[in-house]
């Protein structure tokens, strides 16, 4: 059930059906190479969450395009950097999340899930979850990272569940996936996995003909830091100045993309089902 599409009188019975679980997709607005749109993280995450909620009903709150992009304020568009980034201050973002959760709680929800499809949100959300627990609210907040589905993950899924579990895959698709793994290609931001997720949810927004317009290979400039596990907010941007990380997904097909979405939706439905189970969650959170 989508929060914004419900009528007021539908709310109370919905709370009972969903066992008072509400979920919100959160991503960001940032460059994803030249072949994917700025809202990739939020778009793909929002659609996957909606599809999963059709299998395991929860209330889905309107998706949030503002995520943790603290480095974006340093970018000045048009001077060798990137247009389109939108970054809120950490203080405002935390306050926004807190207000949203309080309003969800006031409306009767007891379990709130932030469904994140942007890797940069992980530390921010972790801090927020800790703060919520410390404030002793009458609701619980969880986060789940919608990690990418890589070619090796698809092959492993087939190995566990059988080829019939992903009926859209063709023999050519299997050859493409096996070749990707055999050649040791790597994947990250806007690469094979992320392009698959968007192509399987919003195919009209993907420009595969532009996936080689810029390089997704590392400059290795920040490697002296990362090799020693030294964290610095600018490291990734220095290594991947095109906001693109990975080999270009030139061989990606729609049937592979649809299969990737099926895997993502299936595992998300399992997450929603678990959160709805009071017996398990209460035993963990009390």
CA torsion 103-127-30-41 (nearest 10°) is -70
Sign of the four-CA dihedral 9, 12, 16, 21: positive
What is the longest distance spanned by two Cα atoms in the chain?
59
**122 and 218 belong to one structural domain:** no
Helix (H, G, I), strand (E, B) or coil at 267: helix
pLDDT bin (cut points 50, 70, 90) of residue 194 is very high
The pLDDT tens digits for 203-217 are 999 999 999 999 999
Phi-psi domain of 38 (left: phi exceeds 0; alpha: psi -120 through 50; beta: other): alpha
Cα-based distances in Å from 221 to 8, 23, 66: 55, 39, 28
Q: Do 138 and 231 share a structural domain?
A: no
The first and second tokens of residue 270, run together, are 């399992």
Mark whether 181 and 107 lie in a shared domain: no
**Gyration radius (Cα) of the chain, Å:** 20
Q: Render pLDDT for 118-165 as a digit per residue (tens, 0 to 9).
A: 988 988 899 999 999 999 999 999 999 999 999 999 999 999 999 999
Whole-number average pLDDT of the chain: 93
Same-domain status, 43 and 111: yes
Region 178-182: mean pLDDT is: 97
Residues 52 and 133 placed together within one structural domain of the fold: yes
| Burial (CB count within 10 angstroms: exposed 0-12, middle 13-18, buried 19+), residue 35 | buried
Same-domain check for residues 96 and 165: no
My answer on whether 175 and 45 are in the same domain is no
Taking the C-alpha atoms of residue 168 and residue 259, their distance in angstroms, rounded to an integer, is 7
Residues 253 and 279 occupy one common structural domain: no
Q: Please tell me whether the overall predicted TM-score, pTM, comes out greater than 0.75 for this model.
A: yes
For residue 13, the domain's CATH number is 3.40.50.10310
Q: Are residues 215 and 273 in the same domain?
A: no
Q: Are residues 139 and 170 in the same domain?
A: no
The whole domain housing 51 covers 3-147+265-285
How many residues in total does the chain contain?
286
With beta carbons less than 8 A apart as the criterion, state whether 218 and 191 touch: no
Number of domains forming the structure of the chain? 2
Query: 187 and 120, same structural domain?
Result: no
Percent of the chain whose predicted confidence (pLDDT) is above 70:
96
Closest CA to 252 of 159, 187, 166, 177: 177
**Do 132 and 21 lie in a common domain?**
yes
Residue 222's pLDDT band, with cuts at 50, 70 and 90, is very high
Least confident of 71-85, 140-154, 164-178, 222-236: 71-85
């Amino acid at each position: 059930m989508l929060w914004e599409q419900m009528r007021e009188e539908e709310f109370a019975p919905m709370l009972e059906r969903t066992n008072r679980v509400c979920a919100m997709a959160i991503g960001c607005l940032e460059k994803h190479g030249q072949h994917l749109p700025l809202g990739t993280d939020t778009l793909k995450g929002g659609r996957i969450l909606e599809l999963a909620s059709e299998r395991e009903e929860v209330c889905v709150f309107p998706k949030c395009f503002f995520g943790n992009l603290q480095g974006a304020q340093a970018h000045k568009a048009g001077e060798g950097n990137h247009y389109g980034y939108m970054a809120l201050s950490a203080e405002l973002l935390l306050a926004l999340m807190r207000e949203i959760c309080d309003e969800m709680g006031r409306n009767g929800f007891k379990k709130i899930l932030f469904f994140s499809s942007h890797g940069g949100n992980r530390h921010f959300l972790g801090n927020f979850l800790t703060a919520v627990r410390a404030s002793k609210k009458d609701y619980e907040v969880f986060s789940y990272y919608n990690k990418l589905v890589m070619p090796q993950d698809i092959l492993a899924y087939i190995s566990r569940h059988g080829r019939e579990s992903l009926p859209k895959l063709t023999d050519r698709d299997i050859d493409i996936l096996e070749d990707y793994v055999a050649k040791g290609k790597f994947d990250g931001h806007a690469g094979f996995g992320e392009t698959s997720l968007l192509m399987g949810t919003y195919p009209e927004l993907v420009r595969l003909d532009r996936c080689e317009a810029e390089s997704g290979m590392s400059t290795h400039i920040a490697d002296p830091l990362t090799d020693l596990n030294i964290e610095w907010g600018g490291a990734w941007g220095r290594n991947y100045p095109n906001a693109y990380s990975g080999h270009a997904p030139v061989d990606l097909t729609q049937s592979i993309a649809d299969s990737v979405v099926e895997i993502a939706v299936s595992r998300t439905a399992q997450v929603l089902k678990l959160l709805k189970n009071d017996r398990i969650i209460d035993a963990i959170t009390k």
